[in-house]
């Protein structure tokens, strides 16, 4: 099976746009999250080793370690989301000719749809962590790259919001009310402060750009 992580940007974009089961919005939000934390790693790498930022060097190294960890996890989810989408499609394609088959099919769909929530919930959690890193990096990172921290904040917020939409539309297909309520609460608490944090980072980034 092909793994989109080793596909070219062009192929990924072509398959995204096409009438194909994958990749779709779930994989894209993971990729945008990975691009966001990738920018944070870049800014950290261009801060470490500079005299002017020596006082913060230890903290920046910690931020870099965390952003690289998040990047690896989010990049895995670019592919993971596609794999799980395949399971949902296969469940819907099961035969429902007899009552017994109908029952098996419905249970397979419910199971696959529940599993399909894991990836967007992870994406959301990692993007929240990325935003926390950006909030600090905009204060102590290399000021020449402060626009990149602002860009990262915008991308992470957009990916987080996108993950919320994915979770919500998937919840519509699940019958288990307790499960639905629990996941609705999970995503609700993850997205709650996203705009406030993003705006705070953007304000500081723009302030430093306008008063260099």
Site string for its own copies, 113-152 (x = CB under 8 A): --------------------------------xxxx-xx-
48 phi/psi in degrees, rounded to 5? -60, 135
CB of 154 to its own copies, least distance (A): 4
Q: How far apart are CA 39 and CA 6, in angstroms?
A: 20
| Residue among 1, 2, 10, 133 that touches its own copies (CB under 8 A) | 10
Q: Dihedral angle at the C-alpha atoms of 92, 98, 100, 101, nearest 10 degrees?
A: -20
Does 78 engage in binding with its own copies (CB under 8 A)? yes
CB of 35 to its own copies, least distance (A): 5
At a CB cut-off of 8 Å and minimum separation 6, what does 47 contact?
53, 56, 57, 60, 140, 141, 142, 145
CB of 186 to its own copies, least distance (A): 17
Q: How far apart are CA 125 and CA 119, in angstroms?
A: 10
CB 184 within 8 A of CB 119: no
Residues in contact with its own copies by CB under 8 A are: 4-10, 12-13, 16-19, 24-25, 28-29, 31-32, 34-35, 38-39, 41-42, 45-46, 67-68, 71, 75, 78, 145-148, 150-151, 154-155, 157-158, 161-162, 165-166, 168-169, 172, 202, 205-206, 209-210, 212
């Amino acid at each position: 099976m092909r793994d989109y992580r080793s596909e070219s940007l062009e192929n990924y974009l072509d398959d995204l746009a096409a009438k194909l089961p994958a990749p779709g919005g779930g994989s894209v939000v993971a990729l945008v999250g990975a691009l966001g934390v990738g920018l944070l790693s870049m800014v950290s790498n261009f801060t470490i080793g500079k005299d002017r930022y020596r006082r913060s060097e230890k903290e920046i190294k910690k931020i870099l370690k965390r952003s690289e960890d998040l990047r690896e996890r989010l990049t895995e989810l670019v592919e993971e989301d596609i794999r799980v989408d395949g399971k949902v499609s296969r469940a819907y394609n099961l035969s429902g000719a007899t009552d017994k088959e109908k029952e098996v099919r419905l249970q397979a769909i419910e199971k696959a749809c529940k599993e399909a929530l894991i990836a967007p919930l992870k994406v959301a959690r990692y993007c929240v962590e990325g935003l926390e890193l950006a909030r600090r990096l905009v204060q102590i990172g290399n000021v020449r790259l402060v626009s990149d921290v602002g860009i990262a904040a915008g991308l992470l917020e957009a990916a987080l919001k996108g993950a919320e939409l994915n979770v919500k539309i998937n919840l519509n297909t699940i019958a288990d009310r307790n499960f639905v309520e629990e996941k609705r609460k999970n995503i609700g608490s993850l997205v709650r402060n996203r705009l406030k944090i993003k705006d705070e980072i953007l304000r500081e980034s723009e302030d430093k750009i306008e008063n260099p």
